[in-house]
Amino acid sequence: MTHNVLVVDDEPKLCDLLASALSQNGITVFTAGNGLHALKVLECEDIDLVISDWRMPGMDGPQLLAEIKTRFPQLPVIVMTAYSTVKNAVQSMRNGAFDYIAKPFDIDELDITVSKALQFRDILKDNQRMRAELDEHQQIDSLVGDSPSFRRVLHAIDSVRESNATILLTGESGTGKEMVARAIHKHGNRADKPFVAVNCAAIPEGLLESEMFGHRKGAFTGAVADRIGRFQQADKGTLFLDEIGEMPLALQAKILRALQERVIEPVGDPRERKVDVRVIAATNKNLLDAVANKEFREDLYYRLNVFPIPLPALRERVEDIAPLARHFANTLGAAAGKRFSGFSAEALQAMANYSWPGNIRELQNCVERATIVASGSVIEEDDLPAYLFASRPADGGVLIEHNGVPADLEAALAEVEKSYILAALQQSNGVQAAAAQLIGISERSFWYRLKKLGIHVDKIVR
C-alpha cells in the first residue's frame, strides 16, 4: 500500500533529506515549511503520517500538534527536535504525538519509527473501513431476494467474484449497483484490499483526470503538492466507477489505456505507474445508444462489458419487496431502538401496488420513514408515506378504459409520467436534481417535464 508522509520543517535541506530517505521505501513525501502551510496540505491531501519539527517560526511544532489532534485526531505525528530534552519528549507524547526523534537522527532509527507509525495508521484505517461497512444501511449482506430475476444476479456474483474480470453493472438508479459491487469485492480474492468508489458524474470535468490518475506538484493551478489518484489508491483492490456513462470523451481514452495496459500517468508527470486493480463499472444509461450517438467510445464499452450484470428494477421483482422491507425495518428499527414484528397485510399490499421509480433506495427511505412514525410493533398502511398512493387513478380520471384500451392514450401516458415525477419529488423533498436522479433522467429533461405537465414544485405537499 502506498503511504503519504508530510514533513514539516523550516529548513529546506532537511526536508529534502527526509524526502530522499523516505521515498526509497516507496513513500510519497509532501513537504511544508511551517505549520500553517502544513495545515493547508492536510486539508487537500490524504496524509498518513506527519513528521514535524519542534521549533519553527510562526506556528511551532506543539501548536501544529494541537491543531492536528483537533482536526485529524487519528493522524499520527512524529516530533523531531534538536532540543531533545526529556521534558520536550514527554510533553509531546502527553499532547498526543505518536513518537519523537532527535536531531541529528540515524536513518535506520527514522525508518523504524516511521514504519511503526504507518502500521498504526493502517490499523486505524482498517478499523474505520470495517465500521463504515457495518454501519451502512445498505450493507453487503442485505442482498435480499428470491425472485427469479434476482437469483440470476446472485448467480452472476458467485460466478465472477473470484476472477479479475472487468464487470459492467447496468440498471436504473437505485437498483443497488454499488451494493452488488461491494458484494463482489467482499466475497472475492481481493477482499482484504481497498475498495475505492468514484462517482464519475459528481466530480467536475476539469478535476476528473487528476482524481483518477493523480497529479504532480505544479501540474496546474492549485496543485500545491503531489497527489495519488483513485487508481493507485485501489492498487491490489477494486475500483468502482459509478455512472461511467457520464465520463467525458476526452478522458475515456485514458481510462481505456489504464484498463488495457494496467498503467497510468499522473497529470504533469510523464512517468508511467503500474497499477493492479479490478474494475467494476456501473451505469443507468444505455451505453450502446451512447456509442451510436458518439457520446461513448465503442472500444471502451467492449472493454468494460467483459462480464455484464443487469440489475432488475424493483417493479420487476415484486415478490422481493416484502422481504426487503422486513430487512430494512429490522435494521433501521434496531438502529433507532425499536423492534418490529413485521408489516400488516394492507401495508405490504400498498407497497406491492406501488411502481417504485427510485427502486431499492426509495424503498429503504420509505421504510425508514415508516419506522419513525410507527407507534406499534407492526407497521401499518397509515405509517407509509402518502406518495405511495398518489399514483392510483381516481374514478372518472383520464385512465378510464374501454375494453382494456385507454380512452385517451396521450393523457394516460401523461398521467403515468406525472405520477412518477410527483413521487420522485416527494421522495427528494422537492429537490429537483435528486428527483431527476431517482427516475434516471437529466436535470434539463426533468425541468422540461415539469413545465410540460404543469407541476409547480413549491406547491407540492411534503
Whether residue 357 has a cis bond before it, omega within 30° of 0: no
The pLDDT of residue 393 is 46
| 227-230: long-range pairs with CB below 8 Å, 24+ | 227/44, 227/45, 227/266, 228/2, 228/4, 228/28, 228/46, 228/266, 229/264, 229/266, 230/196, 230/198
The rounded distance, in Å, linking the Cα atoms of 413 and 405 is 12
Q: What are the structural domains, with CATH classification, of the chain?
A: 4-133 (3.40.50.2300), 147-312 (3.40.50.300), 318-387 (1.10.8.60), 390-462 (1.10.10.60)
The pLDDT of residue 412 is 63
pLDDT in tens, 378-421: 999 999 988 888 644 444 344 444 444 454 556 666 777 787 88
Provide, rounded to the nearest whole percent, the portion of the chain with pLDDT above 90: 45
Please state the rounded mean pLDDT for residues 37-49.
90
pLDDT at 128 over 80: no
| Higher local confidence (pLDDT), 399 or 52 | 52
The pLDDT of residue 160 is 95
SS3 159: helix
pLDDT at 461 over 50: no
Q: Strand 307-310 to strand 167-170: parallel, antiparallel, or no bridges (unpaired)?
A: parallel
